[in-house]
């Protein structure tokens, strides 16, 4: 049994991969004249920081000013897509019931995402995340955390929960995020097949379970504390 759970957000709690794909395809054409391929998206975009992505596309580390310009423009386009597609801008199937279960049983939990602050603020408001999470404990790209597959983000999230990495479950959809969780020493890694097929994850040794929605998680893997705790 594990004592806490850490969620990636994009493609995991929110199935928004297609919107990010569309926004980044447009920007990749502007930066190098031809769009990202699906393979490049999977290997060099998901779970990475905007700086990592722009560096890959341009072949050089961008200046602070250029990074801010491209990142803000791209993310503004993405958020506008989300607002316009109100019907699909919802939490992943089964997520609300699962989050309610975690809250009712005081199971430590947080989000660890490589999204930047403007997007995280948008998610907090749009999905009313404060119902289930202490928003001060959400770990995001604040400019100090290396992008996935570096393990730093999951080590930090476990520390915030006052848990050892091996005491935590991580739910991820990106290959880079799965590798980050493995490198951090996370006890159990669950792959969310929100965009890739379930078969895609079967060859990844670090993955111990593959799900398509949150109703498929075995709640018994999580230890229910015998004390009351805050969100």
Q: Residue 110 — φ and ψ, nearest 5°?
A: -160, 180
Contacting residues for 84 by C-beta, under 8 A, at least 6 apart: none
CATH class, range 17-87? mainly alpha
pLDDT digits (tens, 9 = 90+) for 124-175: 999 999 999 999 999 999 989 998 999 999 999 999 999 999 999 999 999 9
Which two tokens mark 77? 């386009």
Predicted TM-score (pTM) of this structure: 0.85
Domain 4-15+89-221 fold is Rossmann fold (3.40.50)
pLDDT digits (tens, 9 = 90+) for 166-207: 999 999 999 999 999 999 999 999 999 998 999 999 999 999
Specify the DSSP class assigned to residue 36.
P
Contact 177, 148 (CB under 8 A): yes
Which two tokens mark 213? 């929605």
**For the chain, which residues make up each domain, given as ranges?**
4-15+89-221, 17-87
């Amino acid at each position: 049994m594990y004592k806490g759970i850490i969620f990636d957000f994009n493609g995991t709690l929110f199935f928004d991969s297609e919107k990010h794909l569309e926004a980044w395809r447009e920007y990749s054409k502007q930066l190098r004249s031809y769009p990202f391929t699906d393979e490049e998206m999977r290997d060099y975009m998901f779970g990475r920081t905007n700086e990592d992505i722009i560096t890959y596309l341009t072949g050089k580390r961008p200046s602070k000013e250029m990074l801010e310009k491209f990142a803000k423009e791209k993310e503004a386009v993405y958020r506008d897509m989300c607002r316009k597609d109100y019907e699909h801008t919802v939490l992943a199937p089964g997520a609300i019931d699962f989050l309610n279960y975690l809250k009712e049983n005081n199971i430590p939990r947080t989000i660890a995402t490589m999204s930047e602050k403007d997007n995280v603020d948008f998610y907090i408001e749009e999905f009313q995340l404060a119902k289930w999470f202490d928003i001060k404990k959400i770990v995001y790209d604040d400019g100090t955390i290396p992008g996935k597959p570096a393990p730093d983000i999951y080590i930090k999230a476990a520390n915030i929960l006052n848990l050892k990495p091996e005491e935590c479950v991580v739910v991820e959809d990106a290959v880079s995020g799965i590798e980050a969780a493995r490198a951090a020493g996370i006890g159990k890694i669950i792959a969310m097949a929100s965009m890739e097929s379930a078969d895609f994850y079967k060859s990844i040794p670090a993955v111990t379970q593959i799900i398509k929605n949150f109703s498929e998680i075995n709640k018994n893997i999580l230890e229910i504390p015998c004390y009351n705790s805050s969100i």
